[in-house]
Structures are given as C-alpha cells and as structure tokens.
Chain A
C-alpha cells in the first residue's frame, strides 16, 4: 500500500501535496482528540450521571466495549500514516501498549506499592521496617490463620484430586457419562456466596426440641444423635474447618474431573492392551499404567487447587466471617486492610500470600508448558 501512495504523490503538484500533508496532519490530530473527548465525556457521564438506570446501562456497555475498539482503531490509523519504517517500529506498541499499561497500573505497581506499605505503620506514615512481618508470625490469630490454610491446602487439594479422579474413572465407564459429569460439574458455576447459602442450610442447627431443618442434623437426629453446630463446633477446633473445606471440594471436584477425564482418554489404548496381554488385571492396569501416565495432569490439578486454597476467602467470609477458629490468611488480610484499616499489616499479609503462591505457580506453569495446552 505504501508503494501505491508514493507513486501517486509523485504525480501530484506541490500545492496538492501540501494540502494532502495538512489534511493528514489535521486528521492525525483531530481524530484522536475527538476520540478522546468522546471517551472522556462518556467517562464523566458514567461516573457522575443520575440518568435512568437503563440509559446508564446502555451507555456503559457501548462506551466500555466500543470505546476500547475506537481507541485501537484511531491509534492504529495514526501509526499507519507514518513512514513505513516508523509504522513497523511503533505499531507493536499500539497493540501491546494498552495491555501493558493496565498490567503495570493494576498489578505491577500495586505489588511494589503493597511492599512499600508493608514496611510502614497503619496509616502509611512512619517507616516501621519489618515490624509488621514479625507481628504476622507472632500474633495468635495469624498463627491460627496459617494453621487453617495448611488444613485447606492439605485436605482441600487431596480430596478434590481423589474425588475428581474417582469420578473421571467411573463416569468414563458408565453409560450416562455426559449427564453424570454435567451434574458433578455444575457447582463450578455457583458463586461462593451462593454455595455458602446452600451449605449453611445443610448445616443448619436447631434446638433439640424442634424438628431439624438442616439435612445433616436431621440425619444425625434420625440416627439417634444430638444436633451439632458443625462448622461452628468449637469443641473440635481445628477440625470444624473440614466442614468448610467440604464446600470447596464440592465446588472444585468438577474441575479436577474434567482434566483427569481428558487425560485418561488421551492414554494410547495400545498401552493398556499391552498390559492386558501380559496378564495384568484391570486394577493393576489402572494403578501401574494409567495413573503414572497422567502424572503430569495430577500434579497440575493438585498445584492449581493448592494455589486456590491458599487464597481462599469468600467461603470463609460468608460462612463464619473467620469466627469459631476458621480464620484464614485472606480473611485476615481483608479484616486488617478494610475493617481495621491497618494498611501496613494488611499489606504485609498480602506479601506473605504472594511469596507463598510464587513457587507453586512457577511449578504449575512449567507443568502446563510441558503438556502443550490447547
């Protein structure tokens, strides 16, 4: 295209060329200005408007979706008007620029800022060095949070992996594979808050004298036991955490099931045939051939759930708010940062969380690359 432009320009007179130059400069300045003005007006409108809700909704969606597309279109148009060498040099940054700007603004800089805040006192006024960190490792409630997170990691990931593996193995052999998998998978679409309500209802406890409306206590009473408060059962701390962990296993088993099911289906059938010819039983084939073959997937699923449980927040926040000895790192972070307004302590907790996640995540990513996703 550039060649065509150049040859056309040679045929034009000086005046025409001048006008073309002026108009292209004009366009290059005016179009972005108009684009920015429209986007800025939309921004102000959305931020301050009292218009009816449906108007705001519509503007919001058009602005949010269209505005971004317009920005790319305008900037790209600008860059493509430059000499080809400059186009080649600048165009990549038009493409990656917005993404990088947002990443830096929302993740990279905040991480640095959180670290800086973690070295300061509650209002970010005075430098306190590592005092927040030493407080983290000495305060009783933080030690409780670490203990509980450890329970979440161990039991949450193990149960999710085992259950997913069991269901994937069994469902693949059953006739209603698809339907049964959908049912197990379904909780993945449910929010933690919704799951919290669902399970609160199951764990509901009533006085001994009235009928139980919570399923679990109804079963216990029907079997001749006394109703228990389950996750609020302070006598068995820390094991009452298991009643919260069950919820996440219920939500996440579908995830591990899907990954395991795909992995099991990917095992070459010759491998199993060879085992059968050698006289191995189905059980031996399963444990000696199939499981080792999908080892990579097992590790990926396991590490993913470990990361997930390290950051567990919503379930605990909705179910107990951290009472009854169920505090975890993320709920402490939220409480310190947004309830107690101690930004120094809260930030230090976030940094600890980051440090805990990094090694698992690196391991996880490396596993994923080996498996050549997609």
Chain B
C-alpha cells in the first residue's frame, strides 16, 4: 500500500526497524486476541480435576503426558447435558430462519426497485423506518399474540419472529444491490415478453447471489448466536431449546463445572466458526454493505 522512497542506508535501516516493530505489534495483538479462545479450547480437553487444580497454561510445561487429555467432557455435555439435542434444534431454528427472510425480502426488494405501484416510496420509507426499531419493542406484544395462536415454544413461532426482525435489513440490503443492476438488462427481458416473475427468478435471483450470500451468513450467525429471541419465544424446554439458551442455563446452574462449560461453549461455537472461516469473503462484503442489525 505504501511505497517508501528512502534509498539511503539510514532510510533502509529505519524501514527494517519500522516493519519489525509493526510485525511484533501485530503478532502481539493477534496473540492477545486468540488467547481467550485458546484457553477455553485447551481446557475443554482436560480432566475435571486438572481444570480445577491448575491453570490451562500448565499443559505447555513439562511433563507432557498424553494421558491428561480426554474427550469425556464432550461426551458428557453432548449427552447428559443435552447439548447434542440443542445442537440439532439450533439447525432446525437457523436454516428456515435464514431462508424465509431471504425469499420474502428478495421479492420485496425487486418490487421496490423495478415495479411501479402506488405508494411505493411511502412503503419503502416504512421498511427503512423499521430498521431503527430495536427488537425489544416487539417482544411483549408478539409474545401475547403468540399465546393466543398457541405459537409459544414452537419452531414456527421463532422462525417467523426472526424473519420479522431480519426483514428490514434484508430488504434494505437487497434493494441496494438489485436497484443497481443495469436497466438495459430488464428492458431487453421485458421486450422479449418476460413477466416480472420470470425476470425476478431467472435474472435477478442468479445475479444477486453475492448480496444474498452476504445476508445469509449474517442472518445465520445472528440466529445461531442469538439468546434473547430464543429465550423469549422458545424457552428452556429441552425439546426445543437451542445451544445458546442451553449454554446460558448451564452457566447459571453449573457455573463452576469448567470442564462442562468449556466443552459446551465449543460445541455451540463450532458451526459459526466453520461457516465464518469458509465464507469470510462474503461476510466481509456484507459488513461493508451495512449488514449490521438495527
């Protein structure tokens, strides 16, 4: 990024010093940032008695015995503590709660961008206005509505809630993308007799994959990691509870059982971490486009 012009030996010396200092600083920050997670990961493979009596960093000191490592914590937390069932529930909650808002928002964004209808600007303003509403606003009234509809503690209820809370951002993002597609593209399609529906499914959806992927990662991570919505609409019933509420409940009841907590935390983190590492590019693109939940 920067092109230094110094050619004298003094300049070169300084440059080497500068770049070494920069590298060391970056290395130090990376080390600090990784340390908390590393400590948790190491601990999750240690025997309960070891965790309780010595710091996790002692595993890096001799004696290096292999027998100190164990998978028992994971076994316990997945079966006895219900993390396994919660893990499956997290998938059941997250996949539809990601796909449903994408479908609905993409249709709406296309209409706002390329269809003429009365009240379009006003309705779009309503969508943007909804960006500011914290989801806390909706919890009590929606919970009351759900009680009437018997939707409390159901997956359906939680999908629709996440859909509602994710829609403004999704529409806003997709509109930003779809409205910038070249006009000629649509005009030639319309002249060829394509309906709006065809133009949407055959042209806009395939072209919008980058925007959709960005939002999908966001919504997936957000729903998977969410605690508040899950606590309110799903509760802690083991049949439906998800990893975050399960883990939060364990923090409350087993606050000192570090062997279970660390293993449980890692179980709850593994999917987001994989998704994140695999699709980082789209995640970054989404961030730059303003994918931040309002």
Contacts and interface: CB of A to CB of B under 8 A. Distances in A.
A16 interface: no
B47 interface: no
B189 interface: no
A1 B193 contact: yes
Given A111-B138, A190-B225, A350-B136, A272 B123 contact: no
A46 B155 contact: yes
Interface in A291-337: 304, 307-308, 311, 313-314, 317-318, 321, 330, 333-334, 337
Contacts of A121: none
A311 B138 CA distance: 14
Interface in A232-267: 250, 253, 255, 258-259, 262, 264-265
Classify the interface of chain A: helix, strand, loop or mixed: helix
Contact of B92 (A57, A114, A175, A196): A57
Given A197-B262, A212-B55, A46 B103 contact: no
Given A46-B154, A361-B131, A114 B247 contact: no
Contacts of B110: 95
B13 interface: no
B108 A95 contact: yes
Contact of A191 (B176, B232, B268): B268
A254 to B, nearest CB: 9
Given A46-B155, A215-B39, A99 B104 contact: yes
Contacts of B212: none
B115 A95 contact: yes
A17 to B, nearest CB: 23
Contacts of A330: 136
Nearest to A172: B1
A191 B140 contact: no
A193 B160 contact: no
A374 B211 contact: yes
B36 A199 contact: yes
Interface stretch (A85-93, A134-142, A153-161): A85-93
A350 B134 contact: yes
Contacts of A365: 128, 131
A155 B199 CA distance: 49
Given A99-B104, A180-B26, A197-B262, A114 B251 contact: no
B194 to A, nearest CB: 9
A245 B277 CA distance: 25
B134 A173 contact: no
B251 A196 contact: yes
A89 B117 contact: yes
Nearest to A202: B36
Contacts of A272: 2
Nearest to B157: A47
A123 to B, nearest CB: 12
B33 A213 contact: no
Interface string B135-162: 0111111100100001100111001110
A200 B251 contact: yes
B258 interface: yes
A98 B111 CA distance: 12
Interface core residue of A194, A255, A334 (most chain B CB under 10 Å) = A194
A6 interface: no
B95 interface: yes
Contacts, number: 335
A140 to B, nearest CB: 22
B40 A201 contact: yes
Contacts of A314: 227-228
Contacts of B289: 373-374
Given A95-B110, A192-B225, A197 B261 contact: yes
B180 A374 contact: yes
A129 interface: no
Interface in B212-244: 221, 224-228, 231-232, 244
A29 B186 CA distance: 31
Interface stretch (A18-26, A101-109, A143-151, A223-231): A101-109
B12 interface: no
Nearest to A191: B225
B30 A183 contact: yes
Contacts of B203: none
B74 to A, nearest CB: 15
Given A184-B33, A192-B225, A350-B137, A175 B23 contact: yes
Nearest to B27: A180
Interface core residue of B107, B221, B232, B284 (most chain A CB under 10 Å) = B107
Contact of A72 (B23, B55, B103, B261): B103
Nearest to A4: B193
Contacts of A351: 137
B167 A103 contact: yes
Given A46-B156, A72-B103, A96-B108, A368 B290 contact: yes
B83 interface: no
Contact of B30 (A184, A317, A374): A184
22 contacts: A47-B151, A61-B92, A61-B96, A65-B99, A80-B195, A96-B123, A99-B105, A106-B138, A109-B141, A113-B141, A182-B277, A187-B37, A188-B276, A189-B276, A191-B269, A197-B261, A198-B40, A213-B52, A215-B57, A262-B284, A362-B132, A374-B211
Query: What are the 3 tightest A-B residue pairs by CB atom distance, in nearest-first order?
Result: A106-B164, A64-B96, A191-B225
